[in-house]
């Protein structure tokens, strides 16, 4: 049975999760991938926030605290009433955010990152230090995942492009699996080690 998590999420709830646990996530989360992460590092973390970006910083600082960022480049349509709607919302390959993710977790107080494919040692260390997890979403199920997106609340930095903007969305029962936990365990590292051991056995066979 999936553990139900509702944003805002406490550190205690995150520390209770282990690799392999299923999660059903509800609440307000933000999408953000390559350009969004680079933007956060350059404007908010590595230097003083420019005056022109202060409103966005204040919004993200409040919105991401104890919340979730989803590595996703959605397909979005505009409805007849002028509101946005997600048509597809599949996860993006997360390893591209590895240079940035640890610093973003630390600075903004994230509790979870959603994506596919896993992340590296820096992100795993940040999860352990700050009480966060990596949640693996189902690749290739973009339209199914979009059904979990019940409302598009707003979009920020649309000048980065539709896939790269920060989409503020409300999700219900977004199903994921914990594959990197706050205790230093990574399912991706386990599988990599097992695969390497199996390969060595195969190569050593006569």
- Alpha-carbon gap, residue 176 to 165, rounded angstroms: 22
Report residue 73's pLDDT band, with 50, 70 and 90 as the boundaries: very high
CATH number, span 3-204: 3.20.130.10
Residues 133/178, Cβ–Cβ less than 8 Å: yes
- Give me the percent of the chain exceeding a pLDDT of 70: 98
Least confident of 15-19, 121-125, 191-195: 191-195
Taking CA atoms, 6 is separated from 25, 143, 153, 164, 182, in Å, by: 6, 22, 17, 25, 18
Active site residue 107: no
pTM above 0.85, yes or no: yes
Count CB neighbours of 38 within 10 A. Answer: 15
pLDDT (tens digit, 9 = 90+) per residue, 127-155?
999 999 999 998 878 888 999 999 999 99
Total length of the chain: 206
pLDDT at 44 over 70: yes
The pLDDT assigned to 43 comes to 96
Q: How far apart are CA 199 and CA 205, in angstroms?
A: 10
Grouping H, G, I as helix, E, B as strand and the rest as coil, residue 159 is helix
Say which residues have a Cβ less than 8 Å from residue 133's Cβ, sequence separation at least 6: 14, 17, 111, 112, 113, 127, 178, 180, 181, 182
First to last CA, the chain: 45
What value does the mean pLDDT take over residues 24-51? 96
Q: Where on the phi/psi map is residue 11: left (φ > 0), alpha (ψ -120 to 50), or beta? A: alpha
Instruction: Flag whether pLDDT at 199 surpasses 70.
Output: no
pLDDT tens-digit profile of 111-131?
A: 999 999 999 999 999 999 999
Q: What is the pLDDT of residues 84-109, one digit of tens each?
A: 999 999 999 999 999 999 999 999 99
| pLDDT exceeds cutoff 90 at 8 | yes
Tell me the two tokens of residue 10: 């406490």
Task: Give the model's pLDDT for residue 54.
Answer: 97
Those residues whose C-beta lies under 8 Å from the C-beta of residue 110, and which sit 6 or more positions away, are: 64, 65, 67, 68, 69, 104, 130, 132
- What digits encode the pLDDT tens for the residues 19-30? 999 999 999 999
Q: Which of 37, 71, 130, 188 is catalytic?
A: 37
Question: Where exactly are the structural domains of the chain?
Answer: 3-204
């Amino acid at each position: 049975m999936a553990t139900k998590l509702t944003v805002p999420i406490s550190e205690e709830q995150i520390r209770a999760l282990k690799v392999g646990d299923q999660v059903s996530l509800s609440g307000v989360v933000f999408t953000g991938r390559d350009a969004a992460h680079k933007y956060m590092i350059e404007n908010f973390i590595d230097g003083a926030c420019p005056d022109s970006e202060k409103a966005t910083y204040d919004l993200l600082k409040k919105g991401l605290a104890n919340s979730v960022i989803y590595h996703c480049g959605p397909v979005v349509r505009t409805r007849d009433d002028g509101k946005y709607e997600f048509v597809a919302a599949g996860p993006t390959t997360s390893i591209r955010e590895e240079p940035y993710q640890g610093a973003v977790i630390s600075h903004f107080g994230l509790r979870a990152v959603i994506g596919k494919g896993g992340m590296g040692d820096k992100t795993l260390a940040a999860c352990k230090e700050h009480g966060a997890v990596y949640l693996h979403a189902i690749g290739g199920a973009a339209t199914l995942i979009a059904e979990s997106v019940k409302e598009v609340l707003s979009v920020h930095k649309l000048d980065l492009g539709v896939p790269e903007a920060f989409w503020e969305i409300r999700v219900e029962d977004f199903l994921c699996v914990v594959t990197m936990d706050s205790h230093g365990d990574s399912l991706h590292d386990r599988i990599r080690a097992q695969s390497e051991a199996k390969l060595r056995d195969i190569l050593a066979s006569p």
